[in-house]
Amino acid sequence: MTATSSFEPVHKESTASVIARQLRTAIMERTLQPGAQLSETALSAQFGVSRGPLREAMQRLVQEGLLRSEPNRGLFVIELDEADISDVYVARGAVESAAATMIAKARVPAALRELREACHAMTKALELSDPAALSDADFHFHDVLVQCSGSRRLARMHQTLIVETRMCLTALEGTYQQPLELVEEHIQIVDAIEAGDVKLTVKRVEQHMDEALRRLIHAEDNDEGYI
């Protein structure tokens, strides 16, 4: 399978970082389908760049685990099976528990304010019965959680895990049947962080990941699709 997609030409910002970001987004949104082979010639023409920065960008995604390299064949977008999905959530649980622990210990008002605002956005989307907005607010909450930890390394790891999570959810194209429980789980995480209770914070993050994984694995039967 050869990948065919539309990318924005890179002009003044023709760097490997810009190319990697566009490729990452295409993988996340499944514009580049799982199993698709990447063509250097086609992508180089679409981006309007030489093969040097393109190869550097693709190598970054190989290192992130979003592309796989097959000897004598080339680079392919990864495909996720049930074991991979479970592994993603184990890793997310570790990263997000670490981030939440850092915030709970630091007790920084600005971080708590951002997390409350993220929860409010989820509540608002729920009130408006807007599944797409609820999904976006859900992802935003988890991004805020990790970013507010102040750890660049956690943020870097989380970025790849979120791309893999979106790959799964985009494939399902479903919506939750339990949105109220979803919102409450996030609020409970913030409550534990605000209380400075590290053990409870970790417990609630882990419980949320367990529930999210359960929903995702059974999503094809239950029409669920949030993280």
* pLDDT of amino acid 191: 98
pLDDT tier for residue 179 given thresholds of 50, 70 and 90: confident
Q: Given pLDDT bands bounded at 50, 70 and 90, which one contains residue 186?
A: very high
Neighbours of 41 (CB within 10 A): 9
What is the C-alpha radius of gyration for the chain, rounded to an integer number of angstroms?
19
Q: How confident is the model at residue 225 (pLDDT cuts 50, 70, 90)?
A: low
Q: Is the pLDDT of residue 88 over 50?
A: yes
Q: Kindly state the greatest CA–CA separation across the chain.
A: 55
The whole-number pLDDT of residue 10 equals 54
Q: What is the pLDDT of residue 138?
A: 93
Question: Stretch 59-64: mean pLDDT, rounded?
Answer: 94
Torsion angle, alpha carbons of 8, 13, 18, 23, to 10: 20
Which pLDDT score, from 0 to 100, does residue 204 have? 98
8 A C-beta contact, residue 216 and residue 85: yes
Q: Are 204 and 188 in contact (CB under 8 A)?
A: yes
d(CA 19, CA 41): 14
Q: What is the pLDDT of residue 195?
A: 97
Q: How far is CA 57 from CA 48, 63, 161, in A?
A: 14, 10, 18
- Predicted local confidence at residue 87, as pLDDT: 93
Please write the tens of the pLDDT for every residue from 106-125. 999 999 999 999 999 999 99
Residue 224 has pLDDT above 50, yes or no: no
Tokens of 208: 């949320």
Query: What's the whole-number average pLDDT of the chain?
Result: 88
| 14 or 218: which leads in pLDDT | 218
Q: How many residues does the chain have?
A: 227
Predicted TM-score (pTM) of the model is: 0.79
Reference 146, options 30, 57, 227; nearest CA is 227
Among candidate residues 145, 164, 162, 146, the one with its CA nearest the CA of residue 154: 146
Residue 223 binned pLDDT confidence (cut-offs 50, 70, 90) = very low
Give the CA angle between residues 134, 137, 20 to the nearest 5°.
Answer: 120
Question: Taking 80 as the threshold, does the pLDDT of residue 227 lie above it?
Answer: no
pLDDT for position 216: 78
Please tell me the distance from the alpha carbon of residue 29 to that of residue 141, in angstroms, as a whole number. Answer: 19
Report the pLDDT value the prediction gives residue 68, as an integer from 0 to 100: 95
Q: Output the CA torsion sign for 159, 162, 168, 174.
A: negative
Read off the tokens for 219.
């999503």
Q: What percent of the chain has pLDDT over 70?
A: 86
For residue 199, what pLDDT is reported? 98
